[in-house]
Structure 1
Amino acid sequence: MNPIKVGLIGFGRMGGFYLEEMQKSGKWDVAYICDVSAESRELARKLSPKSKIISNEQEIFDDPEVQVVGLFALADSRLEQIRKAIESGKHIIAEKPIADSVENEWQAVSLAEDSNLLSTVNLYLRNAWYHQTIKDFISQGEIGELAIIRVCHLTPGLAPGEGHEFEGPSFHDCGMHYVDIARWYAGSEFKTWNAQAVRMWNYKDPWWLQAHGTFENGVVFDITQGHVYGQLAEKQTHNSYIDIIGTKGIARMTHDFKTAIVELHGVSQTHRIVQPYGGKNIDTLCKLFAQSLETGKRSEALPEFRDAAIASDYAWRFLQDSLQHDLPAIGELETLEQIQERRRTMKNGYGLIRRHS
């Protein structure tokens, strides 16, 4: 099959990741890169000289040769772009969330599900080798019945005011990935929940949140997420893991963003697997999408818009629940200003915004 002609809309941090992986694979022809920022367009010209670099996204939708659009701009643009893509008969790869509000996300779901076009969203944890390994171990019955899902992701990460805009506070912007992966493991829908949050540095929104509750099948969960983990520490670190507890055994994973370690303790098998972390797994997403187009059969591993809408919806519900309880404000805005200033000059760190040289 000839390379798939694609137009990328939005060339920030994530748009750059998609370009890199599509160029590596050989399955994609990046015909267009669109961004409203002149600096981003200049960078795109350097990185992809054969692409047409534009500021008006309509050119992509109007080109009948473009088969796929990649939607990587801000969330408030996505619903209209999804509508244009479907009207022009183009398949869609989107970043999450798929729109800027729950209502608009469900509109996007309806548009996609009422069409015969292929669409997916980057819920990248589903494609991670470590989660696939753990889920396969669970399916073998090695841990007995799945009972408890514990997820933790604490990093310095994006500070308030950096790169969020319509994606909301930390627990929605980043945390919806962990809401989604808990649901993916449970194979069930959320039933009950309770959330506690903290307004770190006296910022207006919670930047750390822990939610716990149950799924309809009785599985219990707790999710802890926050970009609050030692932003001003001399040497930054993080704490990220998943801990799956069954009636007979356990499976767990930790990573340092370079290497992931999976430990499996089952009734007849014990394994410790150490492999490269794998990043955002955009290569896997693009590969699965290309294969689905080539075969005409959607890969079951491709996340659907509906999955993203559910994860976003519940991330917002957990945030809203936290506002009904005591919501401490700890620290001062002056500390946040120090954090933001440090991140503006950092060369290596967690979740740094790509800056143009």
Structure 2
Amino acid sequence: MTLTVGIIGAGRIGKLHVDNLRVIPQIRIKSVSDVATDHLEPWAKEKQIDVLTTDYHELLNDPEIQAVFICSPTNTHATIIKEAAQAGKHIFCEKPVSFSVAETEEALTVVENAGVKLQVGFNRRFDPNFRKIRTLVKEGEIGTPHILRITSRDPQPPSLAYIKSSGGLFMDMTIHDFDMARYVMGSEVVEVSAYGAVLVDPAIGEAGDIDTAIITLKFANGALGVIDNSRSAAYGYDQRLEIFGDKGAAQVDNNRATTVEVSTNDHVKKEKPLYFFLERYTQAYIEEVTEFASACLGNQEVSCSGFDGLQAERIAKAAQQSLETGAPVQLTQAAATVVN
């Protein structure tokens, strides 16, 4: 069986998905759409893409295309999701689904009514290290979880143009950590407190955002969580996690080019973390699209649903509210106590 797909948006992440999808035997990439295509023609020819268009509706109207990947700017996601669902296409959408909880809920309703699949691109769930942690927690290896600590720091901030359209640190960057917190803990977040500062670049503050944050979480199962973020870590992409329970603890350290550690009388040295997300999560990106294809072809549940995307957005909104008010924010929408 073959799944014929179209890609909407041919920026960095869209091109990454094209490369990863091309190595999956049961996937055929037929079409790519982008707002400008002249510069993409040599690339499309190299990747053996049949159709290159500026109008994504051509993909939605193509009866051969069974699934679409939405890799366009966030402010277009919800509209395209609804149109794709109504066209009967399965959907893979990059995070977040939208900047508005109400808009996301509306899109998810359309998806449910259409009976198509929607997977949200929280790629870190598919990293083998984090998956192992989730398995250890589910199997009770560390007992009842008490504390979750997540460190997530970028090697350098994005452009100011990106900052201004990103939806803010919590919606753009920390949203991955909010999803990871739910995923690893297996429980919903019920309260959020957030603290933020501008310590990396004053221009980020002038653009209305923060570049440094500490967020504390309370979970429905009684456990506590702490996330720390920075837009700039001088030593590289810092991605670490620890979960502590009544029977022990489990940690994920940074990935490095090698595990070699040199010890001498003068120093102990090891390599810096891999530089950024494309290097750190190479395998995770491949796994997420492979599992999406399998879910579509085998009529199975997706591994990261629209509801997961919605819950991460709710936490991000609560964090922003806490930052602005200086008070903890309750998530009354978090009715479920167990995360699949």
Normalized against structure 2, the TM-score is what? 0.83
1:289: how far off? 1.6
1:40: how far off? 5.0
CA distance in structure 2 between the aligned counterparts of 1:280 and 1:310, rounded to whole angstroms: 25
Residues 146, 224 of structure 2: 8 Å contact kept = yes
Does 1:133 find its partner at 2:152? Answer: no
Match runs of 1:1-357 below 5 Å:
1=1, 3-38=2-37, 40-42=39-41, 44-164=43-163, 166-200=165-199, 201-202=201-202, 203=205, 204-230=208-234, 236-256=235-255, 258=257, 277-279=280-282, 281-299=284-302, 302-325=303-326
1:62: how far off? 1.1
CA distance in structure 2 between the aligned counterparts of 1:211 and 1:158, rounded to whole angstroms: 19
Match of 1:266 in 2: none
Match of 1:345 in 2: none
Residues 155, 231 of structure 2: 8 Å contact kept = yes
1:280: how far off? 6.3
Amino acid at match of 2:18: L
1:72: how far off? 0.2
Residues 117 and 252 of structure 1: CA distance in aligned 2, closer, same or farther (over 3 Å): same
1:127: how far off? 1.0
Residues 305 and 187 of structure 1: CA distance in aligned 2, closer, same or farther (over 3 Å): same
Amino acid at match of 1:205: D
Q: Deviations over 1:137-186 (max 9, x none)?
A: 22332212111110011122433525355431223211101011111122
1:6: how far off? 0.7
CA distance in structure 1 between the aligned counterparts of 2:226 and 2:101, rounded to whole angstroms: 23
Counterpart secondary structure, 1:117:
coil
Residues 37, 53 of structure 2: 8 Å contact kept = no
Amino acid at match of 2:323: S
CA distance in structure 2 between the aligned counterparts of 1:321 and 1:280, rounded to whole angstroms: 35
Structure 1 vs Structure 2: percent identity of aligned residues? 23
1:48: how far off? 2.1
20-29 or 167-176, larger mean C-alpha shift = 167-176
Residues 106 and 43 of structure 1: CA distance in aligned 2, closer, same or farther (over 3 Å): farther
Residues 260 and 125 of structure 1: CA distance in aligned 2, closer, same or farther (over 3 Å): farther
Uncovered stretches (5+) of structure 1, i.e. residues with no partner: 231-235, 262-275, 327-357
RMSD of Structure 2 on Structure 1 (CA) = 2.3
Residues 43 and 77 of structure 1: CA distance in aligned 2, closer, same or farther (over 3 Å): farther
Amino acid at match of 1:240: Q
CA distance in structure 1 between the aligned counterparts of 2:65 and 2:150, rounded to whole angstroms: 39
Residues 157 and 309 of structure 1: CA distance in aligned 2, closer, same or farther (over 3 Å): farther
1:225: how far off? 1.4
CA distance in structure 2 between the aligned counterparts of 1:260 and 1:31, rounded to whole angstroms: 40
Residues 11, 40 of structure 1: 8 Å contact kept = no
139-148 or 218-227, larger mean C-alpha shift = 139-148
CA distance in structure 2 between the aligned counterparts of 1:297 and 1:240, rounded to whole angstroms: 30
Amino acid at match of 1:169: G
1:123: how far off? 0.8
